[in-house]
Structure 1
Amino acid sequence: MKYQCEGCDRLVKVETYVLEDHALAVACPACGAWTRAAPSLSKPASPKPVPGRTEEPGACGGDTAAVAVPTPEPVLDLEPPVVPLRPSVTALRVVRPDAPAEAPLALDADLFQAPPGHCPKCVAPIRDAAGSCSACGLVYANFIPDEHQPSGAMAREWRELLETWHDWDAHDRLLSQGMMRGEMAMVGRLYRMRLARAPNDAQALRGRDEVVRRVTMATTLASDGPSPALGRKVKTAVMGVVLVVSLVMLLVLVQMMRGSF
């Protein structure tokens, strides 16, 4: 069945309809306007009308025609009920990039002794059952631990460094103090012992490399020119030679002047 929409004057099919007070209200599928059909003026003899459809007699015999009567648009609750959604987001632990890293704890009770399986002097791995180290030549039976202990100041600074291990400024201060006191060999040994306990420790690797760099740079600068003592000796010798030559030339000049008179 088709009807003429009062909203857009189109001949459209009945697709959406409702019954209100025994009258048919249909919605236009093109413009959405609602149109209400007038109730039938006479009951048809046959057949029984289809529900949702109102017909009235037309001008020609038994023909029927739908009469479209405009009506206000009914207020319908067309919004679907809100169904609570099931949470599908997994809560994750928030990690802040600026959060300070925790300082590593001491991995051994004795911080100033090489761990088992390493040379007690150079901290090189022991690769065989020999009685001496293949790297430094130390005879293990002759090792005296007291001869390879850091000074009191270095031991105190190393313990303080372990509490702020991830702060490179603290490492730099330790390296500078060791350079001024001439303890770079002990600083390098401490970093090697740390690496023997934690081979993947980035701070220990950087500290060991920094020890090698600073010692190499200091050695290069010292080898670029003569020592101050040698320079003073050379200068004294040159001045002595110049003085002797000047005296000889003066004597020759005096003899020449005497012979001319």
Structure 2
Amino acid sequence: MKYQCEACERLVPVESFRVEDGVLTVTCRACGARTLAQSSPAPALSNEVPREGGGGRGGSEGVAVAVPTPESFASAPPVPSRVSVTALRVVRSDAPSAEAPALDGDPFQAPPGHCPKCVAPKREEDGACAQCGLVYANFLPDEHLPSGVLATEWRALLQTWDDDEAHDRLVTLAVGRGELAMAGRLYRLRLARAPGDVKALRGRDEVVRRVTSVVPLASDGPSPELARKVKSMVMGAVLLVALMLVVLLFQLLRGSF
């Protein structure tokens, strides 16, 4: 029989041992360390594995191999009879979106906590808007109302808020009537009451796109570049006429002498 010494971790044969009070004491012949082992209540099972090549004195030595007992499997968790399945709820991406909730208040006036002109957030202690410079005490609501036609179209749009074509028609109407800035203000008012409204964000972005893409059809006056060109041409013509007069005068003076 062989065992593994706990001190030198060598596999050494059992040569000298003694039992005291039920404790087995084995002495390692390589390092001299003693290993203590208590007897287990269940009888230990071991298999004798013959040593290759044979041992001395015609005997065969073996290595103790622990064999697991059936009790060691008693604490293993039971295997479930079936795999648990989680029910999945299918959500269709093409499901119709819910209608926009009706919002209280005047749709043409800024809600509390916002500038009545540019609809930017404001603080109660401020007397003027930090974004547009409006003095709140001087604000006149009638000066920032849309025309009757645009107001009617906006009220109709609120009833069909999810219709993208209705939003496009409103923006086109605002462009034709020169009220594109007012249309942008109406969308900002909507966002002040319903932050994150997808349709309001889309309408506001469309207004910004229309503003940046509009080409002016008429101009108040000539462009600075054209004015510089005309000025240069006039000065060149004046210098040319003056040069011709100087040459003519010089020839007349030569003929007189």
Normalising by structure 2, what TM-score?
A: 0.52
Rounded Cα–Cα distance in structure 2 between residues aligned with 1:98 and 1:257: 96
- Equivalence for 1:123: 119
C-alpha RMSD of the superposition: 3.5
Q: Counterpart of 2:114 in 1: which secondary structure?
A: coil
Aligned residues: 165
Rounded Cα–Cα distance in structure 1 between residues aligned with 2:172 and 2:221: 23
Deviation at 1:96, TM superposition (A): 9.8
Change in 2 beyond 3 A, CA 1:211/1:236: same
Q: Counterpart of 1:121 in 2: which secondary structure?
A: coil
Structure 2: gaps spanning 5 or more residues: 1-88
Q: Counterpart of 2:118 in 1: which secondary structure?
A: coil
Change in 2 beyond 3 A, CA 1:106/1:249: farther
- Equivalence for 1:255: 249
Amino acid at match of 2:186: L
1:105–1:163: 8 Å Cα contact kept in structure 2? Answer: no
Rounded Cα–Cα distance in structure 1 between residues aligned with 2:181 and 2:248: 64
Amino-acid identity (%): 53
Structure 1: gaps spanning 5 or more residues: 1-91
Q: Does 1:239 align with 2:233?
A: yes
Normalising by structure 1, what TM-score?
A: 0.51
Q: Counterpart of 1:228 in 2: which secondary structure?
A: coil
Map residues 127-146 of structure 1 onto 2, 5 A cutoff.
127-146=123-142
2:179 equivalent among 183, 186, 194: 183
What are the superposed Cα offsets for residues 83-124 of structure 1, whole Å, 9 maximum, x if unpaired?
xxxxxxxxx9x989486x565364134210112232222222
Rounded Cα–Cα distance in structure 2 between residues aligned with 1:134 and 1:241: 49
Amino acid at match of 1:138: L
Amino acid at match of 1:173: R
Rounded Cα–Cα distance in structure 2 between residues aligned with 1:260 and 1:159: 89
Which stretches of structure 1, 4 residues or more, deviate above 6 A after TM superposition? none
Q: Does 1:164 align with 2:160?
A: yes
Rounded Cα–Cα distance in structure 2 between residues aligned with 1:259 and 1:137: 72
